[in-house]
Amino acid sequence: MTDIAVIGGGIGGLTVAHELAERGLDVTVLEAADGFGGKARSVPIADEPKALHGEHGFRFFPAFYRHVIETMERIPDGDGTVADNLVETEATLIAGTDGTDRIAETRTPDSVRDWLEALRPAFADDLPADDVRFLLERLLYLLTACEQRREAELEETSWWTFIDAENRSQEFRDRLAYATQALVALRPQIGSARTIGTIYLQLLFGQLDPTRPTERVLNAPTSEAWIDPWVSYLERLGVDLRTDAPVRQLAFDGRRITGLVLADGETVTADEYVLSVPVDVAPTFVTPELRRAAPELARIEHLDTAWMNGIQFYLATDVELTRGHQVYTESPWALTSISQRQFWSGYDLDSHGPDAVEGVLSVIASDWETPGIVYERPARECTREEIATEIWEQLKVHLNGSTVRLTDDMLVDWVLDPAIVAADEGVANRSPLLINTVGSLRNRPPADVSVENLTLAGDYVRTNTDLASMESANEAGRRVANAILDRHDYRAARAEIWDLEEPLVFEPFKRQDRIRYRLGLPHPAAVTQSLRTVVGRRGRSG
């Protein structure tokens, strides 16, 4: 039997353990923290039965997530599985500061009218006609470009440049440039057109697929609904799960890993080693010897991170807002939120917090660099208390337009992500998030690196999803499991890996573009009519 030692018990590491333990392999998971789940886990704020919990941010499961959903379907929970704890959303509130709200339906369409309503936010009446035409042209460009062109050209172009955001209306920028940043860790000015465009299309396709819910959330805090049942299942499979077990270094003899040295001096040996630590931690394990043996490991340190952290506001009133997410289009800190209790059918809030708490508003701040409206400083330069106050005030500005939804007397307590800690100037972040940037694909290592008994699992590994997410981490864990099974010639079935799906009707165009790319010819829509019009206007005005 092959022994596997996994460093890190986040989504990637637990996925490796799951896939290999189900196939009869002996797995040990070493986690530095006091619990499993990484950024996905819930964190009790106090050591008491009714303690409130904090989280890195609310969980979001769009339709194109397949790997992590399939794993959840294989985790027993009561009479069903963890996947039964997923609840479909119905609508997203797009709130501005002018008191005008837009509602984007997220329910799975079951009629032509529903399909048109699902598409309306992308092609709404408030977008100028030129912008709508340009958007259609850009999306068709993406859908008809071959993979080689996407990786060579679109990977080197920012989403901001690709959609000509500087020359478009503010409504267009709000819809196309900032919408993806609000829900996933993508920055329009620096993220690649390849990645952001692909994810935007996947989100759009998810609204039109009647076979899958457009987006889902959990019916309880993440650890209770998912991580705890997962850990229990892995323990029943025989996985040795150790918390408070930080690994200090990898012992390497120039050809293979010979052991793990823990912080307390203990050495752990195995046949296979999996490095499944966050992107900001991974480079600390890469010695000069490992760099020479596996150059792809050296490139991890060139990947960029950003801050995208959450806060939970505990309210005396259950403010539902919409049965789904809220996007605050003019918030300087790029806020999104979800009113949790309406979804928490599997969670008894009365037994987990003060008696006065009736509602939970979970908020994520995606921009920590722009000054706020209260203290006029970026979030990273504020104290934890100032961050809470600032976010609360930004919410009120967006939600209390024509109708007052939030008042100060509603606020019972708040819990900011524990990864945000006090520093000499403002705060520091112990858990930054990988962020996509132009050209970053070349720095994303494969799961199977050039050291014969070392693999990598994490959301920074090269995957089909190409996004800092639970889905990408789970896919990376599956790729690790398959690499280990291949190395040892196990006959067990391999973990399934899915490609991102796009409509088959565009395949002939992609084949044509593949030929054009090989001949050194540009894509037919490399310069679109709308873009030429803008350039022409500039020339005439100049």
Per-residue pLDDT tens over the stretch 395-439: 999 999 878 899 999 999 999 999 999 999 999 999 999 989 999
* 59: three-class secondary structure by DSSP: coil
Structure confidence at residue 208 (pLDDT): 76
- On average, the pLDDT of the chain sits at 88
Which of 168-182, 231-245, 255-269 bottoms out in mean pLDDT, i.e. has the lowest?
A: 168-182
Looking up residue 415, the CATH number of its domain turns out to be: 3.90.660
- pLDDT at residue 30 above 90? yes
Is residue 235 included in any domain, yes or no? no
Both 196 and 136 in one domain: the answer is yes
Is residue 297 included in any domain, yes or no? yes
Task: Dig out the tokens for 367 from the structure.
Answer: 């921009």
Query: Averaged over 72-90, what is the pLDDT?
Result: 96
Looking up residue 255, the CATH number of its domain turns out to be: 3.50.50.60
CA–CA dist 255, 233 (Å, integer): 35
Both 404 and 514 in one domain: the answer is no
Structure confidence at residue 48 (pLDDT): 65
CB 445 within 8 A of CB 461: yes
Both 315 and 325 in one domain: the answer is yes
Cross-strand pairs, 311: 363, 416
Task: Determine how β-strand 325-328 pairs with β-strand 91-95.
Answer: parallel
Structure confidence at residue 1 (pLDDT): 63
Return the DSSP state at 158.
B
Residue range 63-76, pLDDT digits in tens:
999 999 999 999 99
Order of strands across the sheet with 61-62? Answer: 61-62, 215-218, 86-88
Both 461 and 472 in one domain: the answer is yes
Residue range 478-517, pLDDT digits in tens:
999 999 999 999 999 999 999 999 988 899 999 999 999 9
Both 78 and 218 in one domain: the answer is yes
pTM of the full structure: 0.92
**176 Cβ contact partners less than 8 Å away, ≥ 6 residues apart:** 135, 163, 165, 168, 188, 200
Both 82 and 147 in one domain: the answer is no
Query: Averaged over 104-129, what is the pLDDT?
Result: 60
CA–CA dist 260, 540 (Å, integer): 67
Return the DSSP state at 257.
E
CA–CA dist 42, 222 (Å, integer): 6
Structure confidence at residue 465 (pLDDT): 85
Query: Averaged over 374-386, what is the pLDDT?
Result: 97
Choose between 406 and 538: higher pLDDT.
406
Is residue 228 included in any domain, yes or no? no
Residue range 89-109, pLDDT digits in tens:
988 888 888 777 777 766 665
Residue range 253-275, pLDDT digits in tens:
999 999 999 999 999 999 999 99
The values of phi and psi at residue 96, to 5°, are -110, 180
Structure confidence at residue 529 (pLDDT): 44
Is residue 505 included in any domain, yes or no? no
At residue 47's C-alpha, the angle toward residues 44 and 51, to 5°, is: 50
Domain range for 325 is 42-103+212-222+308-431
> Which of 413, 431, 449 lies at the terminal end of a domain, its last residue?
431
- pLDDT at residue 121 above 80? no
Which of 90-104, 154-168, 448-462 bottoms out in mean pLDDT, i.e. has the lowest?
A: 90-104
Residue range 125-136, pLDDT digits in tens:
567 888 888 888
Query: Averaged over 456-472, what is the pLDDT?
Result: 92
Crossing angle, helix 129-144 and helix 507-518, to 10 degrees?
Answer: 70
> Which of 399, 431, 463 lies at the terminal end of a domain, its last residue?
431
Place of tokens 């008994």: 453
Distances (CA, A) of 440 to 168, 213, 467: 26, 31, 11
Structure confidence at residue 120 (pLDDT): 53
Choose between 366 and 383: higher pLDDT.
383
Structure confidence at residue 173 (pLDDT): 78
| 489 Rama class: left (phi>0) / alpha (psi -120 to 50) / beta | left
Task: Determine how β-strand 91-95 pairs with β-strand 240-242.
Answer: unpaired
Question: E strands of 185-236, at which residues?
Answer: 215-218
Both 535 and 455 in one domain: the answer is no
Both 218 and 324 in one domain: the answer is yes
CA–CA dist 513, 511 (Å, integer): 5
Percentage of residues of the chain with pLDDT beyond 90: 63
Structure confidence at residue 113 (pLDDT): 57
Both 67 and 94 in one domain: the answer is yes
Number of folded domains in the chain? 3
Question: E strands of 278-387, at which residues?
Answer: 304-306, 309-315, 325-328, 335-339, 359-365
Both 412 and 459 in one domain: the answer is no
Structure confidence at residue 534 (pLDDT): 43
Is residue 525 included in any domain, yes or no? yes
Cross-strand pairs, 241: 29
Task: Dig out the tokens for 86 from the structure.
Answer: 């997923």
Task: Dig out the tokens for 366 from the structure.
Answer: 């995606």
CB 327 within 8 A of CB 316: no
CA–CA dist 99, 183 (Å, integer): 22
Both 320 and 417 in one domain: the answer is yes
- pLDDT at residue 387 above 80? yes
Structure confidence at residue 189 (pLDDT): 86
Both 217 and 94 in one domain: the answer is yes
Query: Averaged over 197-212, what is the pLDDT?
Result: 84
